[in-house]
Amino acid sequence: MNQEMAIRRAGLDDLDLVAPLFDAYRQFYRQSEDLEGARSFMRDRLENRDSVVFLAFCSAGAETAPAGFTQLYPSLSSVSMKPIWILNDLFVAQEFRGRGVGRWLMRAARDFAAEDGAARITLATERGNHRAKALYEAESYILDEVFDHYNLPLNNLPLT
């Protein structure tokens, strides 16, 4: 079976394709299913242009389906005086895992950040997410051994 993959920057017209993937991503991190909340959150991101979302599609024959997404948020590095991008979300639907979708999404993010003149992309994942960590290391991400990162939970909400 000949499979093809395409990656594109998502826009508001892609909301109905991105929202179910985003909801599945949240469920992966043990959040309750909330498709309407996911749709609202993603609509705000796309309308306000406060994040960049890349959407992957896989096709086999005449069928094409959304396979995964990554979402990046902008930030700044005071030390380098350049932008940085936070790769906050990366998700590949179960049926498309093992086909290189995550790798291609990460490369789209890398190319975008490089074209933006960013100093780096930063990301975090759960310690036990070994599959993701292997992908990040294969894509030349370096585990930070200089800085310890801390989080301050607000309003008794767990950080995700």
Say if strands 63-77 and 52-60 run parallel, antiparallel, or are unpaired.
Answer: antiparallel
Residue 154 lies in a domain: no
Summarised one tens digit per residue, pLDDT across range 40-67 is 999 999 999 999 999 999 986 678 899 9
The alpha helices in 2-141, defined as continuous H runs, are 15-28, 35-48, 101-115, 130-138
Residue 155 lies in a domain: no
Domain limits at 63? 3-138
Total count of domains within the chain: 1
Residue 159 lies in a domain: no
For 93, 112, 150, the CA distances from 98, given in Å and listed in that order, are: 10, 23, 32
Residue 143 lies in a domain: no
Residue 31 lies in a domain: yes
The CATH number given to whatever domain includes residue 73 is 3.40.630.30
Summarised one tens digit per residue, pLDDT across range 90-148 is 999 999 999 999 999 999 999 999 999 999 999 999 889 999 999 999 999 998 888 87
Summarised one tens digit per residue, pLDDT across range 72-91 is 999 999 999 999 999 999 99
Give the list of residues 6+ apart from residue 63 with CB closer than 8 angstroms, or none. Answer: none
Higher pLDDT residue, 3 or 130? 130
Angstrom distance (rounded) from CA 87 to CA 89:
6
Higher pLDDT residue, 24 or 62? 24
Q: Give strand pairing partners of 83.
A: 76
pLDDT range class, residue 13, cuts 50, 70, 90: very high
Residue 73 lies in a domain: yes
Residue 56 lies in a domain: yes
Residue 87 lies in a domain: yes
